[in-house]
Amino acid sequence: MATESFPTESFSAGSLSTGDLVEIQQLLARYAVTITMGDIDGLLAVFTPDGTYLAFGDTYPLGEFPALVAAAPKGLFLTGTPAIELSGDTATGVQPLCFVDHASHDMRIGYYHDTYQRTADGWRLRTRAMTFIRRNGDHDSGRPHAYKPAST
C-alpha cells in the first residue's frame, strides 16, 4: 500500500496570518464551486497565468484547462480544509477531495498537493497535483484521461 506522510511534527503557520489563511481557503472554495458549476472562467481565475494541473500521468498548462474540464466527468467537488504552510509570498498545502459523479453518484476520493503564490490580485494556485486513493489503499495520480494534451 503506497501512502504519503504530511510533516505534522514540523507544521507551523509561520507568518501566515488569519487573513492569508482565509484568503487561501476562499480561493480553494472558489476552485471547488467553479469547477462543480462548470464555470471555466471562474476556474481559470483562481490560478496564476503559468498555473498547472497534474493528474492522469500528465501536467496540463492553464491553456488546456477548458478542454480538460470538458472531457472530465461532471459532478460535485467536495473539498476539506487544507493544511497550509507559508514561506513568504509562496505557500504549499494539501487538501482532501471527495468527487461525486452527477449521474451515478459514484465517488472518487483523494487529495490535492498545491503550491500558492501571492500576487497583486491576492493568493492564487500555481500548481495543483491530484492523488487518488484507490479501494485497495493505493495512492496514485490516476489513470490516463480521455483528454490528451495537444503536445502528445
Nearest by Cα to 60 from 52, 49, 70, 48: 52
Do the domain assignments include residue 2? no
Encode pLDDT of 40-58 as tens digits. 999 999 999 999 999 888 8
Do the domain assignments include residue 5? no
Nearest by Cα to 141 from 112, 116, 115, 114: 112
Do the domain assignments include residue 150? no
Residues 67-77 as b/e (b if ≥16 CB within 10 A, e otherwise) read ebbeeeeebee
Do the domain assignments include residue 7? no
Query: Taking 80 as the threshold, does the pLDDT of residue 150 lie above it?
Result: no
CATH number (domain holding residue 109): 3.10.450.50
Domain range holding 96?
Answer: 13-140
- H or E stretch covering 37: helix 18-37
Do the domain assignments include residue 22? yes
Whether the CB-CB separation of 50 and 62 falls below 8 Å is answered with yes
Encode pLDDT of 109-147 as tens digits. 999 999 999 999 999 999 999 999 999 999 988 776 566
Count the domains in the chain: 1
Residue 12 to residue 9: CA distance in whole angstroms = 9
Do the domain assignments include residue 96? yes
Do the domain assignments include residue 29? yes
Do the domain assignments include residue 105? yes
